[in-house]
Amino acid sequence: MTTSRPAPWVSVVLCAAVLVAGVYAAASGLGTTRLPLLAGGLALLVAVDLAEVRRYPVRTPKRVAAALLALRAALYVAVSYVDGSGLARLLLLLVPFTAYFAFGQATALALAAACLAVAVISTPGWYAHVEQVSDLVMFTVGLVIAIAMAAVAVRERDGQIRLQESHRTVAELSAAAERARVARDLHDDLGHHLTAIVVLLEKAAAFHDREPATAKAAVLDAERSARRALGEVRESVRSLRSFHLLAALDELVAGQGDVTLTISGAPDGHDTGALHALYRAAQEGITNSRRHAEATHIAVTVDLDAERARLTVTDDGHGMGAAAEGFGLLGMRERVALSGGRVDLASTSCGTRLTVTIPAARTA
């Protein structure tokens, strides 16, 4: 959406009205109307307006606006001299109207007072004629209406600009949130499986000569983990609506003899996003236990009841140290916080305990 210049039609409508009145005055013999000069001056005014709108579709720079305003004022006066109907004087209403957009209310009011003074000075003895007094009163009312219209148009324009800026900000924040989500998913999915593959291949290398069967089993487990990683990358583009926590956890620990899984309760009543956050936390907990704590046994416990969902990952490693506050834990905290939960981490030289608690979804 592009914000356009406020009320660009006002000047064109007034110029058309002056032209019609001038043609009528010339045909009726009212006053002295130089029709070719009148039409040429009005056409030049419209051309100036169209050129400005095309060059500056939203807001004209102040220096350019000042020059164009002076040009318009000169043309208004010139057109008034060749118009026998007297209606061309209404074009002076466009002076404060146009100035409002570039210079604000104070300048527009000052120019309105100047235009009224010009109208009064150009009408000698106006106070002795009821018609001229009425014309000046109507001119004053026209100035007030012009300024009020400009004020409304400027507020609408500025509101549209702010709305567009808000839309851009929301779009940028949404894009940033999506990038963060993708980064978390990549870290959680690929990081977990790649860590498992590295550990299994190291095991295969260590037992290659002494226990070929053990080494072969480790290689096969690494292959399975790689295939799971590929499958999860493909699944990451699908909706979370099809996510099943219990099956996902079973698949996560399958083939990993150093990991035990205990599940109690059912996921019914828990938000899909919360269950997915628990799964990602389990991935990260297992990965960190292997990568940083060098644990030999990891226990994953999931407890689902009507009040909350809780995941606990404990290991017998030597603690996680500074790695406990790495990117993985940060992503976990962000994901769990989006579901209204919390992450607690206790790490010592005797082992690490990760606890994720997310309240159950409330229904009206």
Task: State the average pLDDT over residues 138-147.
Answer: 90
Residues 134 and 19 in one domain: yes
**Whether this model's pTM surpasses 0.75:** no
Range of the domain at 306: 256-364
Compute φ and ψ for 342, nearest 5 degrees: -140, 160
Contacts of 294 (CB under 8 A, 6+ apart): 317, 318
Residues 17 and 161 in one domain: yes
Residues 156 and 299 in one domain: no
Q: Which helix (H) or strand (E) holds 261?
A: strand 259-264
Q: What is the pLDDT of residues 246-273, one digit of tens each?
A: 888 988 888 788 899 999 998 888 888 8
Of the three residues 126, 147, 169, the one that is the final residue of a domain is: 169
The number of folded domains in the chain is: 2
Is there a domain that residue 2 lies in? Answer: no
Strands 298-304 and 259-264 come out as parallel
Instruction: Check residue 364 and give its pLDDT.
Output: 42
Of the three residues 143, 169, 195, the one that is the final residue of a domain is: 169
Q: What is the pLDDT of residues 78-132, one digit of tens each?
A: 988 888 888 888 888 889 988 888 888 999 999 999 988 888 887 788 788 888 8
Q: Which of 345, 352, 344, 347 is CA-nearest to residue 298? A: 352
State how far the Cα of 251 lies from the Cα of 167, in Å rounded to an integer: 41
Residues 137 and 20 in one domain: yes
First to last CA, the chain: 38
Instruction: Check residue 2 and give its pLDDT.
Output: 42
Is there a domain that residue 250 lies in? Answer: no
Q: Which of 104, 107, 96 is CA-nearest to residue 72? A: 96
How is residue 268 written in tokens?
């019914």
Residues 158 and 262 in one domain: no
Q: Which residues pair with 353 in a beta bridge?
A: 314, 346
Residues 48 and 143 in one domain: yes
Does 20 have pLDDT greater than 70?
Answer: yes
Residues 25 and 162 in one domain: yes
State how far the Cα of 283 lies from the Cα of 186, in Å rounded to an integer: 12
Is there a domain that residue 14 lies in? Answer: yes
Residues 131 and 270 in one domain: no
Residues 146 and 26 in one domain: yes
Which DSSP state fits 316?
-
Q: What is the CATH number of the domain that holds 318?
A: 3.30.565.10
Of the three residues 122, 144, 169, the one that is the final residue of a domain is: 169
Residues 144 and 269 in one domain: no
User: Buried b vs exposed e over 98-130: b needs ≥16 C-beta within 10 Å?
Assistant: bbbbbbeeebbeebbeebbebbeeebeebeeee
Is there a domain that residue 64 lies in? Answer: yes
Is there a domain that residue 212 lies in? Answer: no
Is there a domain that residue 235 lies in? Answer: no
Is there a domain that residue 249 lies in? Answer: no
Is there a domain that residue 309 lies in? Answer: yes
How is residue 265 written in tokens?
């309760």
State how far the Cα of 199 lies from the Cα of 209, in Å rounded to an integer: 17
Instruction: Check residue 311 and give its pLDDT.
Output: 95
